[in-house]
Amino acid sequence: MFAVEDAEALARLNREFNGGYRAVEHVRASLEGNRELVVLACLDDTVVGFVCAQWFTSFCYDHPYGEITEMYVQEHARRKGLAAGMISLLEEGLRERGVRSVKLLTGLTNERAIQVYQDSGYQKERELSLSKRF
């Protein structure tokens, strides 16, 4: 998982992944205040990737459910099993919180990510995702 000291590395990786700037203080505050799990990947003592998930409860369901929200590994660190390892640790953390199922959303053409998720046991579903921005 992560430590608060990792906020600077996460802010840097998030800029590479999502673009834009998020102040380290904002990243730190977000990590401390959310129901979010973050797993980091390190290579040669440098943070090179992360995967995030949140878990939710609802009166509609008997158990909490999880959602993987982001995953990123720097190009030079790919194809080393880091993504699969991070997913496994993340799932372990979700199970410890009572989560029994996990969903995720990724781009239809993001074939590398889709393959990583499928190799970790995730299956494509016939659902439609809709969104709205305010």
Domain 36-119, what fold?
Aminopeptidase (3.40.630)
- Kindly give the confidence (pLDDT) of every residue in the chain, 134 residues in length, as a single tens digit, with 9 standing for 90 and above: 656 678 888 888 888 888 877 788 888 887 777 788 999 999 998 999 999 999 999 899 889 999 999 999 999 999 999 999 999 999 999 999 999 999 998 888 989 999 999 999 999 988 888 889 99
pTM: 0.84
CA–CA dist 94, 54 (Å, integer): 8
H/E stretch holding 92: helix 82-96
- CB < 8 Å & 24+ apart, contacts of 64-69: 64/97, 64/98, 64/99, 64/100, 65/99, 65/100, 65/101, 65/102, 65/103, 66/94, 66/97, 66/99, 66/101, 66/102, 66/103, 67/102, 67/103, 67/104, 67/105, 68/102, 68/103, 68/104, 69/36, 69/104
By C-alpha distance, which of 119, 112, 90 is closest to 102? Answer: 90
Q: Where are the domains of the chain?
A: 36-119
pLDDT (0 to 100) of residue 4: 64
pLDDT (0 to 100) of residue 1: 60
